[in-house]
Chains A and B, each alone.
Chain A
């Protein structure tokens, strides 16, 4: 046996296996964001249905579920129904907000007419809010606690149990 070759191979493979093993236990959708644990960027955007400018008043005593989405995003269609359900269930205690980017008002209105609009939908023209939140695609959801601090960023469509679990976590925290 060539011990030198074996030692060289192990020197390359072992660190690689360790790095991969460290990632196995993690949820690939629970994206590490530099904003987690920090105050959520504030914003004021126009609501698509009323044309009124909405300031979500982050950190004013109510947790916020902020969902970035677009009508051209297929997984967003499924997720929208789940968010509608969650907003109906927790709307009194948690503020749900939809934030649409890279889209048109006509398409958004048609989408909401078809799939429902149980919570405010704001339009991020110019994408500045998406940039401030470090959005890299849709859907992405931010869970913001009652103090206005981002607790989690989730990339990809959320299932009902996933939303429920996270909302319960937000509600369990005292402001």
Chain B
């Protein structure tokens, strides 16, 4: 019924507990573990949580594997835990998941090559924005404060007014002297 290309093995009596040994071992994809094995316990839980917080849940909207309650995220977290316990490093774990999901699975893009742009462009945009704000503020302040030309003009006006007053006084005295 299943066709000639299906090999059927004798079923175990273990209910839904299935052997998945035919799946590619992580070592076939990322090589042998490069780290140290971690025993079950709080340390393993904490590292699993930390790695999961940097791994994207593929069925969620921008949520990490650690933050998502979905079954897919739980399965991924279980696999992360298993690999950490076996001594795989965080980078090896990400490479393993990248083989099937692509770099999309990383919540933080790699800091290499063109991908530096993802990290540096926001910084660049921030600096440009800040400089623009400073420029606008400087122009605004410059236009609202009196300039040296303005103060020179004011002095000139004051000087001319004073000159006119003196001339008036002088001409007044001349008139009274003539009278």
Interface residues of A (CB under 8 A from B): 32-35, 41-47, 50-57, 60-62, 91, 95, 102, 105, 120, 123, 125-137
> What string of 1s and 0s marks CB contacts (under 8 Å) between B1-43 and chain A?
0110111111110001111111110000000000000000000
B102 near A45 with CB under 8 A, answer no
A132 near B7 with CB under 8 A, answer no
User: Which residue on B lies nearest to A48, using beta carbons?
Assistant: B16
Known: A52-B10, A123-B18. A128 touches B23 (CB 8 A): yes
| Interface SS of chain B | loop
Cβ-neighbour of B8 out of A43, A53, A123 (below 8 A):
A53
27 contacts between A and B (CB under 8 A): A33-B102, A34-B99, A34-B101, A35-B99, A41-B24, A41-B100, A43-B20, A44-B9, A45-B18, A53-B8, A53-B12, A54-B2, A54-B9, A55-B6, A55-B22, A56-B6, A62-B3, A95-B6, A102-B71, A126-B20, A126-B75, A130-B72, A130-B75, A131-B97, A134-B101, A135-B58, A136-B101
User: Which residue on B lies nearest to A56, using beta carbons?
Assistant: B6
Residues on A with beta carbons closer than 8 Å to the beta carbon of B2: 47, 54, 120
A46 near B3 with CB under 8 A, answer no
Residues on A with beta carbons closer than 8 Å to the beta carbon of B171: none
- How far is A60 from B72 in the complex, measured between Cα atoms in Å? 30
Interface residues of B (CB under 8 A from A): 2-3, 5-12, 16-24, 58-59, 71-72, 75-76, 78-79, 97-102
A131 near B11 with CB under 8 A, answer no
Known: A43-B23, A132-B100. A123 touches B6 (CB 8 A): no
Cβ-neighbour of B11 out of A50, A132, A135, A136 (below 8 A):
A50
Cβ-neighbour of A53 out of B3, B9, B102 (below 8 A):
B9
- How far is A16 from B17 in the complex, measured between Cα atoms in Å? 50
Known: A128-B79, A134-B102. A102 touches B18 (CB 8 A): no
